[in-house]
Amino acid sequence: MIVVLKQNPDPVKLEKLSSQLRDMGLTLHFSQGVHTSLIGLVGDTSKVDMEMLGANELVETVKRVSEPYKAANRKFHPQDTVVNVNGCKIGEGFFSVIAGPCSVETEEQIIEVAQAVKKSGAKFLRGGAFKPRTSPYAFQGLHDEGIRLLLKAKAVTHMPIVTELMSLGHLDLFSDVDIIQVGARNMQNFEMLKELGHSNKPILLKRGLANTIEELLMSAEYIMAGGNSNVILCERGVRTFETATRNTMDISAVPLLKQLSHLPVVVDPSHATGIPWMVKPLSKAALAAGADGVMIEVHNNPSKALCDGAQSLTPLQFAQVMAALRPMAEFEGKIL
């Protein structure tokens, strides 16, 4: 960590600051430049609060030189983490497809979609029981009934299920859910992350609309610091000035997250673009860039879907995407 000092620091105050830093077990290296002087801090700087230090009257800025995350950091855990739900894996050479409707609507719908996507090769079933909607007047999901229907579809198809938790108050309902999704809008709902750190279930953590890659890893760190290291990172598009797509899919996040962290990474092209025909080229791009899987919205009747229908594929369109991904996964040495 580098502390850049303001011009002409008061020597007495500087000595006081220095001894405070030394008391934290740090070694100090001073450099005096023409216009600027600075202190290099050496030792375990994870205990140093950059903001506190930055507030010191002598300090102009503080710059970090090492990553602030430990448990999620590949430097300290070189081996890939593999999430394994009853043998269905994310990571370890698998390219895992999670598919299903934006929201669970009826028993018929979820079972029909589940059977269709399983037939085409999806390994996990997704479906929303609790739906985050911008408008209070929009359909908000079937809630506990939605979870019940997902579990029915699981019983019929034996696919592990992924569904979003919107409030810790609902956590009891998730006891039979296989993977708990933390949505983009809750990526920095720190109380939720802490609580999920005490869970033994895999967590699918979606990147927030305007969160950096480092912040995504810090949110994973929240969960992992609580003892739960089964975290799947999900790139789902970030918010930019571009309006032609719903969000801007940050494909660079895939190789970067794989290098910085040992956690598996999946991509959600449905939410990233909001445009169904773009799911195929972008799923291929995700595979080519090294992702461990994709999450795709599929609905048996998109124009009747109670939410996000406009971005859902039909089961037939989904089968076509899978037909394109299968040989490509093989070519990349991955198991679809």
Total residues contacting its own copies by CB under 8 A comes to 112
Write each residue from 211 to 250 as x if it is in contact with its own copies (CB under 8 A), else as -, in one continuous string: xxxxx--x--xx--x------------xxxxxxxx--xxx
Nearer to its own copies, 154 or 236 (CB): 236
Neighbours of 47 (CB within 10 A): 9
Nearer to its own copies, 23 or 242 (CB): 242
Residue closest to 104 by CA, chosen among 51, 177, 42, 10? 177
CB of 336 to its own copies, least distance (A): 15
Please report whether residue 289 would count as binding its own copies according to CB under 8 A: yes
Given the rule CB under 8 A, which of 85-93, 117-125, 153-161, 272-280 is the region that contacts its own copies? 272-280
User: What is the C-alpha separation between 90 and 264, in angstroms, rounded?
Assistant: 7
Q: Which helix (H) or strand (E) holds 157?
A: helix 144-157
Please report whether residue 286 would count as binding its own copies according to CB under 8 A: yes
Please report whether residue 308 would count as binding its own copies according to CB under 8 A: yes
User: What is the C-alpha separation between 163 and 165, in angstroms, rounded?
Assistant: 7
Residue closest to 144 by CA, chosen among 124, 162, 159, 130? 130
Nearer to its own copies, 99 or 213 (CB): 213
DSSP string for 192-204: HHHHHTT--S-EE
Among 125, 294, 307, 322, binds its own copies (CB under 8 A): 307
- Three-state DSSP class for 220? helix
User: Which residues lie across from 181 on neighbouring strands?
Assistant: 164, 204
Please report whether residue 12 would count as binding its own copies according to CB under 8 A: no
Among 15, 30, 145, 155, binds its own copies (CB under 8 A): 30
**Which sign does the torsion angle of CA 43, 258, 207, 177 carry?**
negative
CB of 137 to its own copies, least distance (A): 6
At residue 123, φ and ψ (nearest 5 deg) are: -100, -25
The answer to whether the beta carbons of residues 7 and 32 sit under 8 Å apart is no
Q: Looking at 91-194, which runs of residues are DSSP E strands?
A: 96-100, 124-126, 161-164, 179-182
Say which amino acid occupies 233. Answer: L
Among 113, 177, 282, 321, binds its own copies (CB under 8 A): 282
The answer to whether the beta carbons of residues 115 and 73 sit under 8 Å apart is no
Among 22, 66, 93, 176, binds its own copies (CB under 8 A): 66
Nearer to its own copies, 161 or 216 (CB): 216
Given the rule CB under 8 A, which of 25-33, 83-91, 118-126, 151-159 is the region that contacts its own copies? 25-33
Write each residue from 127 to 166 as x if it is in contact with its own copies (CB under 8 A), else as -, in one continuous string: ---x-xxxxxxxxx-------------------------x
Among 74, 284, 317, 320, binds its own copies (CB under 8 A): 284
Q: Which parts of 178-197 interact with its own copies (CB under 8 A)?
A: 185-186, 188-194
